[in-house]
Amino acid sequence: MTTVEDPVHTLSEGVNQALDEAMSDDETVFCLGEDIEDPIGGVMRGTRGLSTKYGRARVRNTPIAEQAIVGCAIGASLAGMRPVAEVMLMDFFAVCMDQVANHAAKLRYMSGGRTNVPITIRTSVGGGAQFGAQHSQSLEGWMMHIPGLKVVVPSTPRDAKGLLYSAIFDDDPCIHMETMSLLFTRGPVPAGHFAIPLGSAEVKRPGTDVTVIAWGKEVPEALAAAETLAGEGTDVEVLDLRTLVPLDRQAILDSVAKTRRAVVVHAATTFAGPGAEIASLVSHELFGELAAPVERLGAAYAPIPFAAELETALYPDRGRIAETIRAMA
């Protein structure tokens, strides 16, 4: 657990520390991506300082060529390296999904276990910053649907450090989603070596009346809604899934079995989105035991608009989460 002594850092610094620890622990870890070398150190600063510390062989800028970036990481991993590739924004997975879904995810199985792909793909997830329809998408739903990919979405600096470290040393391909709106939020981060196992959700706020299941961008919104509702006498439990694959099924079912009410909240589009899996799981496993239907709150069905007023309306926020919960009581 986090202790009071833990120094405070941003989520971006948590990412940076995990990369630093991993590179110093293991020669086979290296980073590749666009603009990741110093002085820039990544457009979101995740790799800042690392090319200076470990050299440009192990922290290398690439051409603007995501298929080559991810494919190159896959190849190096087949030869025993642990590459950490950066795809600048999650929207750009659309140009390299063949390497991600048809190769990284499938090579272990297609080789009957003779090869494996221990890569980590770090990516920034936009949304809420007026970057427009092509620079704001949360596409974890695509990744979850492809057997063979692990999907990690930290919402705090501490989780970012611990989960990314585990992802890098995991023997399967991991997608590490770094939520832009949280990158510079601050929180305690254990110094030195620190890992959080993949597949363990965390109760970010215990409660008894309703469970909000969230990840990434929406976790702080859920916590804020919980605060508001506490004042109204409703005790909300906030479960941060942290990894979507592996999915902490038990944590979800235990919490909702207790509260008998569930709301799934994410920044991805609601329709055919990741929340549908969680909602179906809960509705099926707890059939007859729920006090209300499982609610799903995600982005409205539309490309992400530029105008701030529209973009704000697109995403679920603390207000809509609170409203939804009130209506379930």
Partner 1 sequence: MAEASTAQVTARLPDDAALHIFRTMATIRAMEDRINRGLNAGEFRMTFYPVRGQEVIPAAVSEHLRPEDYMVTTYRGMHDCIAKGIPLTELVAEMLGRVGGTSKGKGGPMHLSDPRSGLMVTTGVVGGGVPIAVGLGLAAQLRGTDQVSVVNFGDGATSIGATHEAANMAALWQLPVVFVCQHNGYGEHTAFADYTRTEHLADRFRPYGMAAVTVDGNSVPDMYAAAGEAVARARSGGGPTFLECLTFRLEGHSFGASTEYVDADRLAQARADEPLGRYRAWLVAEDRATEEQLAEVERQVDEAVEAAVAEALASPAPGLEELQTDVFSSDEAVPR
Ligand X SMILES: Cc1ncc(C[n+]2csc(CCOP(=O)(O)OP(=O)(O)O)c2C)c(N)n1
Positions marked catalytic: 66, 135
Instruction: Report if residue 130 touches partner 1, rule: CB under 8 A.
Output: yes
Q: Which does 313 bind (CB under 5 to 8 A by kind): ligand X, partner 1, a second copy, none?
A: partner 1
The whole-angstrom separation of Cα 297 and Cα 311 is 15
Instruction: Report if residue 208 touches a second copy, rule: CB under 8 A.
Output: no
Q: How far is the CB of 134 from partner 1 (least distance, A)?
A: 4
**Secondary structure (3-state) at 237:** strand
Instruction: Report if residue 52 touches partner 1, rule: CB under 8 A.
Output: no
Instruction: Report if residue 77 touches partner 1, rule: CB under 8 A.
Output: yes
Question: Do residues 78 and 165 make contact, with C-beta atoms less than 8 angstroms apart?
Answer: no
Backbone angles phi, psi at 177, to 5 degrees: -90, 120
Q: How far is the CB of 206 from a second copy (least distance, A)?
A: 26
Q: How far is the CB of 85 from partner 1 (least distance, A)?
A: 10
| Residue 269 vs residues 5, 62, 250, 310: alpha-carbon distances, Å | 39, 31, 25, 15
Question: Which helix (H) or strand (E) element contains residue 280?
Answer: helix 274-285
Buried b (16+ CB within 10 A) or exposed e, 241-279: bbbbbebbeebbeebbeebbbbbbbbbbbbeebbbbebb
What residues contact residue 251 under an 8 Å CB cut-off, 6+ apart?
200, 201, 203, 239, 241
Per CB under 6 A, the segment of 87-95, 136-144, 157-165, 285-293 that binds ligand X is 87-95
Instruction: Report if residue 81 touches ligand X, rule: CB under 6 A.
Output: no
Q: How far is the CB of 193 from a second copy (least distance, A)?
A: 32
Question: Mask: binding to partner 1, 140-169, rule CB under 8 A, as x and -?
Answer: -------xx-x-------------------
Instruction: Report if residue 184 touches a second copy, rule: CB under 8 A.
Output: no
Q: Which of 64, 65, 133, 308 binds a second copy (CB under 8 A)?
A: 133
Per CB under 8 A, the segment of 70-78, 153-161, 235-243, 288-296 that binds a second copy is 288-296
Instruction: Report if residue 92 touches ligand X, rule: CB under 6 A.
Output: yes
Question: Do residues 91 and 136 make contact, with C-beta atoms less than 8 angstroms apart?
Answer: yes
Instruction: Report if residue 141 touches a second copy, rule: CB under 8 A.
Output: yes
- The vertex-252 CA angle with 185 and 311, nearest 5°, equals 45
Residue at token pair 């950066």 = 86
Residue at token pair 């329709």 = 271
Q: Which of 109, 191, 289, 291 binds partner 1 (CB under 8 A)?
A: 109
Q: Which residues of this protein are in contact with ligand X, per CB under 6 A?
A: 34, 64, 66, 88, 92, 95
Q: Which residues of this protein are in contact with a second copy, per CB under 8 A?
A: 91-95, 97-98, 100-102, 105-106, 109-110, 132-134, 141-142, 144-148, 268-269, 271-277, 279-280, 283-285, 287, 290, 292-296, 301-303, 305
